[in-house]
Amino acid sequence: MNAAPMEFVEPFAGGAIVSLTVAFENLAQHVTMVELDESVSAVWQVILEGDAENLADKISTFVMTSENLDAELNIKPVTRQRLAFQTILRNRVNHGGILAPGSGKLKYGENGKGVLSRWYPQTLRQRILDIMKVRERISFINGDGFDVLRKMAHRADAVFFIDPPYTAGGKKAGSRLYRHYEIDHDALFHLAASLVGDFLMTYDNAHELHTLAEKYGFDTEVVAMKNTHHAEMTELLIGRNLDWARCRR
């Protein structure tokens, strides 16, 4: 595809690094991010639609100690602004940044720094301010990615990046990492097959996914990657034609 697509859609956005990269690099005229999780959604709603500067300032002035952290997280968030702030705190201090119920905060962390291991307030503040500069080209939907895919399936001017929770083939990563992890993978493949626009799906390299891809006539390519612990793994790309991925090897 030579010209930038009219619309880039990420139906399972999460941290939305791909959507943000597309927006920053002008790889599409408009970006639509979708997320079901209310806590994660609060972050994007504040940054993209609310008082992002206030959130950035609150992060940069928060004195991170175990005592201050516990005091903040013990407050019931009755505003979206506070929920967004608490979600960012949890992402920074929990093991692996995991927000799912049951995830615990760091005790030792990197070099014994505990909750300070991944707390870079000025970097986070600048990131929020940078996103503000492109937010007029980003729309956010707090909703079901399946519903958004169905509504946009007819659009030939849209491309879709589909990165669902990895729970196919008996994998447990999705259930450990996400609050909303139950996915009908066959239904998702069926929906992808109905998309008029192009798409790229990313999954664990599990046998079940190869079988589903073959069932729907999709192309696959296995690529190397590293997880958060820097262990080498493989991931499965799925699309209609992945010759571009093979050409880059």
CATH number at residue 28: 3.40.50.150
Residue with tokens 């729309």: 139
240 and 176: one domain?
A: yes
Supply the pLDDT for residue 234.
85
Supply the pLDDT for residue 136.
96
CB 43 within 8 A of CB 84: yes
Residues facing 237 on adjacent strands: 202, 221
In a domain, 1, yes or no: no
In a domain, 2, yes or no: no
47 and 27: one domain?
A: no
Angle at 175 between CA 169 and CA 178, to 5 degrees: 130
116 and 200: one domain?
A: no
Supply the pLDDT for residue 191.
97
29 and 80: one domain?
A: no
Given 101, 132, 163, which residue is the final one in a domain? 132
Supply the pLDDT for residue 224.
85
Q: Which two tokens stand for residue 203?
A: 């999954």
In a domain, 206, yes or no: yes
Supply the pLDDT for residue 1.
45
Q: What is the pLDDT along the chain (249 residues), one digit of tens a residue?
A: 457 899 999 999 999 999 999 999 999 999 999 999 999 999 999 999 999 999 999 999 999 988 999 999 999 999 999 999 999 998 888 754 455 445 555 454 444 455 566 789 999 999 999 999 999 999 999 999 999 999 999 999 999 999 998 655 555 444 444 454 578 899 999 999 999 999 999 998 889 999 999 999 999 999 987 655 556 778 999 999 999 888 765
123 and 157: one domain?
A: no
117 and 157: one domain?
A: no
In a domain, 157, yes or no: yes
Given 83, 100, 132, which residue is the final one in a domain? 132
Supply the pLDDT for residue 182.
74
Supply the pLDDT for residue 48.
97
114 and 150: one domain?
A: no
In a domain, 137, yes or no: no
Given 132, 159, 183, which residue is the final one in a domain? 132
In a domain, 204, yes or no: yes
185 and 223: one domain?
A: yes
3-state SS assignment for residue 129: helix
Radius of gyration of the chain measured on its C-alpha atoms: 19
Q: Give dist(CA 168, CA 165) in Å, integer.
A: 9
Q: Which two tokens stand for residue 191?
A: 């929906």
23 and 103: one domain?
A: no
Q: Which two tokens stand for residue 155?
A: 């659009």
Domains contained in the chain, number: 2
In a domain, 174, yes or no: yes
212 and 155: one domain?
A: yes
76 and 96: one domain?
A: yes
Name the residue range of residue 232's domain.
7-36+143-247
In a domain, 90, yes or no: yes
31 and 115: one domain?
A: no
